[in-house]
Amino acid sequence: MSTTSGNRETERKAGGRSSGPTVKDIFVEGAIDPAFIATSIAKHATRMDIGAHEIFLGQVRADAVAGADGHPSATTVSAIEYTAYRDMALERMTVIREEAFAKWPSMTCLHVHHSLGSIPAGALCFMVFASAPHRQAAREAVAWVVDRIKAELPIFGREVLSDSTHLWKTNR
């Protein structure tokens, strides 16, 4: 079902564009391990043109749903089960990525990961990581990419509640 190319690990270098945009698979099964993030940071140590990293991390929040739909007052979100329309999401992400590099041409690299499957409250489900020579491009790009992903990628979240019922998450 995926249209992902086999070239997932190749990160685009600034100014190094050759053919069409590479479709990268952003989806990971399960939560994002903090150790994976540490490793991602460490991988940039060989890039001497980078002066700034900016990272956004999304964490599953144990929202209280007191009173909503007749749930008892102690009901909270215990996990979110993420699913996606994978082919459309990866197409949209490829466009967003290309637009981000056009908007912030100094950006050295951009890494995006989003979880699928059941992610417990407190675990990480989303990472946007940009690097650039200076902080402004990295900061602006991450904020912009996070907002675009939340608005445009067909990702769906089934909130499993502590009373074993569920609700469907909607981005505001």
Partner 1 sequence: MRILLFGSIAEKAGASSIEFDAPSLAALRQQLIARIPDLEHMRYAIAVDRVVMNEDRPLAGSEEIAVLPPFAGG
Q: Where does this chain bind partner 1 (CB under 8 A)?
A: 58, 80, 82-85, 87-89, 91-92, 114, 125-126, 146, 149-158, 168-171
Alpha-carbon span 2 to 118, nearest angstrom? 20
Determine the Cα–Cα distance for residues 77 and 11; give it in Å rounded to an integer: 36
Q: Minimum distance from CB of 13 to partner 1 (Å)?
A: 27
Nearer to partner 1, 50 or 143 (CB): 143
Q: Which of 9, 31, 1, 56 is nearest to 116 (CA)?
A: 31
Q: How far is the CB of 60 from partner 1 (least distance, A)?
A: 10
| Least distance (Å) between residue 116 CB and partner 1 | 10
DSSP β-ladder status, 109-120 and 27-29: parallel
Q: Between 86 and 108, whose beta carbon lies closer to partner 1?
A: 86
